[in-house]
Structure 1
Amino acid sequence: MARKINIRTYFSALRHFKNYYSTIIFRIKLTLNNISYGKNVRAYNGIPKLYIHPNSLSVNLGDNVRIRNYWNTGWYAHSFIKVQENASLTIGNNVGINSSMIIATHKISIGNHVFIGGGTKIYDTNFHNLNWEARRDAKTSSISNTSPVTIEDDVFIGTDCIIGKGVTIGARSIIAAGSVVVKSIPSDCIAGGNPAKVIKNLINN
């Protein structure tokens, strides 16, 4: 008598195989791009997109970095990491990134135990010149200001946030979903809005 196939078990096995395959290919891509990475780096639900300039300064991923793609928390996009010429990116240990975009043209540092929600974008540049006359000229339009971004340990960033250039988010702080962070946020607080401001201090709460 033929054995019935448990559909739930079948799809669970398929998902595990996809994640295993995604992780292997992602690690190969990291190696080919001369990216230093630690133990147990994993990719889920697809392979993150990478663009690492051959003359980037350094790109380092710590232990237990987990990068998810596509359907988690309702986002339908690959995670995307881009590091330009003379730029650096550091991602610490035990970091979770979900369908997010990180573009480093100067320097981005992400600490340990950081969680980044789906659809979040982290930039250290304006991308375009802020002078209207310069923007009219193709040669100077893309000349933009850059400034390092630092996300300290244990920060939680909600879905669909934008983290702009020159920002430091202090340790253990929470950024509410949909926030636009253009100024630094202190440690141990909840911040949100556009532009993001401190809503509540977490010390003694």
Structure 2
Amino acid sequence: MAKTSFRIIMIKTLYSIYNQVSQWIYIRWSHYATVFYFHINNVIRGNFTSIGVPLLEIHQDGKCEFGGGVVMVNNAKFATLGKSNRCKFVVSSGAKLLIGNKVAMSNTTIVATLSVTLGDNILLGGGVTIVDTDFHSLNPAHWHTMADYDYMQKSPVVIKDNVFIGMNAVILKGVTIGSNVIIGAGSVISKDIPDNQVWAGNPARFIKNCIIRN
């Protein structure tokens, strides 16, 4: 019985060591692969942590910039919610995507056809989507034609400092989110949010003022 218990302990110990080493190797590989991927896509970046490699669609005439301390989770095993999609960043011709310092995200999609700007100290929950366009014209006569893209509406998105956006929230075009804002999970944001407020729902509405204590 004692020998069996000892064997079980040894197996668990060896498995734990293997798991830690393999995770360390994967994270290091992710970092260097993402550095290379950023380089060939002309992404300006500070120091970052990337678990898994994000997806990039950066037009050669677009601008994509990451500040320092950015964290990206692109793997279901390491994502708290277990979502399998990778972070994806799309920047169209002439558009810009600017992400500030200390921004953490998992399985996030950001599409900039004109301009998306994120400030500093931001948390994006699993599956958050941020877009600055409708992707299609609102006139059905344009659908399935080249005019669909020409007439689609787009407007800049700005997210200021110290913002928490809950999982699966969607930030739509033309929205400015103020500093010190909390957005509930699953919310759809289609209009501006002032500083120091909590919003939630679909469509999102004001819940209460948010008091930030240092």
TM range (shorter): over 0.9
Deviation track 1:128-165 (CA, whole Å, cap 9, x = no partner) reads: 00012222x51112231110000100100010011000
Q: Gapped runs of 5+ residues in structure 2? A: 1-9
Q: Which has the larger radius of gyration?
A: 2
In the alignment, residue 102 of structure 2 is paired with which amino acid?
N
Partner of 1:47: 53
Partner of 2:5: none
Q: Residue 27 of structure 1: which of 30, 35, 56 is its match?
A: 35
> Could you tell me whether the CA contact under 8 Å between 1:185 and 1:197 is conserved in 2?
no
In the alignment, residue 110 of structure 2 is paired with which amino acid?
I
> Could you tell me whether the CA contact under 8 Å between 2:180 and 2:212 is conserved in 1?
no
In the alignment, residue 62 of structure 1 is paired with which amino acid?
G
- Find the aligned partners of 1:92 and 1:190 in 2 and give their Cα distance: 22
Q: Does 1:187 align with 2:192?
A: no
Partner of 1:131: 139
Q: What's the CA shift for 1:121?
A: 0.7
Deviation track 1:49-70 (CA, whole Å, cap 9, x = no partner) reads: 11100111x2110001111113
Q: What's the CA shift for 1:74?
A: 2.5
Identity over aligned pairs, percent: 35
Q: Structure 1 residue runs of 4+, over 3 Å off?
A: none
With structure 2 as the length reference, what TM-score do the two structures score? 0.89
The 3 A distance-change label for structure 1 pair 204 and 121 is closer
Q: Does 1:174 align with 2:182?
A: yes
Q: Does 1:86 align with 2:94?
A: yes
Structure 2 counterparts to residues 138-177 of structure 1, below 5 A:
138-143=145-150, 144-177=152-185
With structure 1 as the length reference, what TM-score do the two structures score? 0.93
Query: What secondary structure sits across from 2:20 in the alignment?
Result: helix
- Find the aligned partners of 2:90 and 2:212 in 1 and give their Cα distance: 39
In the alignment, residue 98 of structure 1 is paired with which amino acid?
S
Question: CA RMSD for the aligned pairs?
Answer: 1.7
Q: Gapped runs of 5+ residues in structure 1? A: none
